[in-house]
Amino acid sequence: MRDRKKAEKLAQELVAQMTEEEMASQLRFDAPAIERLGIPAYNWWNEGLHGTARAGTATVFPQAIGLAAAWDTQLMEQTGDVIAQETRAKYNAAVKHGDRDIYKGLTLWSPNVNIFRDPRWGRGHETYGEDPVLTARLAVSMVRGLQGDGEYLKTAACAKHFAVHSGPEALRHSFNAKASKKDMYETYLPAFEACVREAQVEAVMGAYNRTNDEPCCASKELMGEILRGKWGFQGHYVSDCWAVRDFHDHHGVTKNGVESSAMALNAGCDLNCGCTYLCLKEALNRHLVKKETLRASAVRLFTARFLLGMFTETEYDSIPYSCVASPEHLALAQRAAEESMVLLKNNGLLPLKKEDIRTIGVIGPNADSRSSLDGNYHGTASRYVTALEGMQDYLGDDVRVLYAKGCHLYRKNEELLGQENDRISEALATAECSDVILLCLGLDETLEGEEGDTGNAYSSGDKQDLSLPKSQRTLMEAVLKTGKPVIACIFAGSALDLSLLQEQAAAVIQAWYPGAQGGKALARVLFGEVSPCGKLPVTFYKSLDTLPDFEDYSMEGRTYRYLKEEPLYPFGYGLSYGDIRVNGVQADSSCMDAAENGLKIKISFKNEGSRRTKDVIQAYIRSEGSALAPPNPVLCAFAKVEAESGEEKTIELDIPKEAFMAVNEDGERIVDARAFTLYAGTCGPDARSRELAGKAPVRMEIKIKE
């Protein structure tokens, strides 16, 4: 792929010319220039979660959880490639003008491959959902897209936050996440391992918290034994921002910055996002750190810079700035938004027809909100298309579009001097004049996000519960009582309580944070220009009553794999306007050796609907009689498919050998069952999925050799 040995040799030769103080300076995220060696300043901190972020104009794709809802590895890789291309274009332009500032480099601190284990976690929308298989497949594709396949890295991706990290945000600087080896190797680590082993991700970022008593940015087990030991990681390790300072300020494992910097560096944390590595000089003076350790980290960092071609000409130097937010890139973002939307309910109202509607009322605090398109860690779009604007643009003069905000996103009144619910009457008047209502509710990054990032009205970035804010619940109930057909569109990055909408609305769409083209994509979905094909990457629970405490990292009772109660909407669920049905599944070879070599299966399906559509074929497996496997069938493979009305097709899926193994209490994958049931369909095999989707997966019994 790339010549890491050559890059490492160049790095060694360069670092050998540095003084201890110069080497230490290069281990900071804001590395200064070393003019005598021709090394320019470089700021390692850049973001590319769903578009080049925080550096001005860029194509803004759906937030990560929305990209995950598309269940499309090819789309994910294409998205990563566009992000890398725009990042290179902006880097080229910045360097040309002598700009070496933050958010303008080639090291992207993305993707976030943590498992979204609890719907309260505010940063869950940065992830690819709750399932380790789905997360791993999508993460590998994103990393490959970001890093490219050229002579040099197009950009350097970073898998974060290693590891066992998913809230609570308010406690993250002092929290000790306790996880069994079984949960670690079954749930929390597989996506990281896939990024390292399969995609050769260049960087890994440590988490703020401790895991099983060790700070994640100085963990002998995570960083030494697992990452560099078992997995053979050769790239560089970076701390989360100011996480090393937490060692002494919050975790209490060291006394001061000198000890903390030494602890992190000795464990293999090469790059410090923060200021604690300013103490490395004193750590060297006190013999807490060896010069060889300092040199090793500097070499790893300069290896990355050589792999990126920072000191030579590359094939990426000619990428023009004009590619940023180009029509081609915006078209891909629109497609991603269309395929990310999940149709949760449809009583037959959708798709809408222009000729059947004279007036449509667009109501709700997220109807004309740019923030509801973005999510967090985003760039600035050249144009935003909100839900309201999307409807206006699509319908033109053919259909009257009325608008009422209806309420503030979370405050009791919109106008500070107004009474409580001061915009309800306007919403009701709009509803009364409308044939159909598009009710746009949900959250934005001010209500769910990162602790201390943009602020949060309730709980340091996390949600306290699954309810919509009271202001929105009042609006929702009032609009539903009008008796008009209501299409509810939810802009949010996590599961919410949509039980009333499921009961009373004509249709419900989960739009996530769909990116700058979200409103255009929504209009095309509503009016049937495209069929919705998104699937939930997370479970929508009926309540939090049966979930373990937020601070409990055991997987017992969490996610679809260990869920004991019936969900509101299951993982893997989503409707379409077509009707793709799986009608057969068979093994392509003997099943007996599946635990040694994996298994190829052929799945036949037919679109029995009246229109062309895309859908997701999902394969789940249950170990029969295993004492160690999750109690519910688990995802083992998937593929995005497309078929015309009446068309029949067959696809092949590779079921990995790991699907026929279970993880024991020592974290080892072993074979402890000989009989398995494989399910293949467009939804999961659980009863709730079958009820909502109106169809069931086909099944195949598999036996492997003793």
Helices (H), 433-505: 470-480, 499-504
Q: Where are the beta strands (DSSP E) in 26-89?
A: 30-31, 42-43
Q: Write out the H or E segment, with its range, that includes residue 663.
A: strand 662-663
Which residue type sits at 96? K
Q: CA-to-CA distance for 343 and 507, rounded, in angstroms?
A: 8
φ/ψ region of 86 (left if φ > 0, alpha if ψ in -120 to 50, else beta) reads alpha
Determine phi and psi for 57, rounding to 5 degrees: -65, 135
Q: CA-to-CA distance for 706 and 694, rounded, in angstroms?
A: 38
Whole-Å CA distances, 21 to 26, 30, 265, 304, 523: 9, 15, 15, 20, 58
Residue identified by tokens 């996440």 is 177
Of 304, 298, 305, 243, the C-alpha closest to 273 is: 243
Q: CA-to-CA distance for 652 and 436, rounded, in angstroms?
A: 42
Determine phi and psi for 523, rounding to 5 degrees: -60, -40
List the catalytic residues.
240
Beta pairing partners, 670: 662
Q: CA-to-CA distance for 453 and 670, rounded, in angstroms?
A: 42
Residue pair 162/220 in contact (Cβ under 8 Å)? The answer is no
Q: Write out the H or E segment, with its range, that includes residue 291.
A: helix 291-307
Cα 603 to its chain centre, rounded Å, is: 28
Helices (H), 97-180: 132-147
At 501, list the tokens. 């909408």
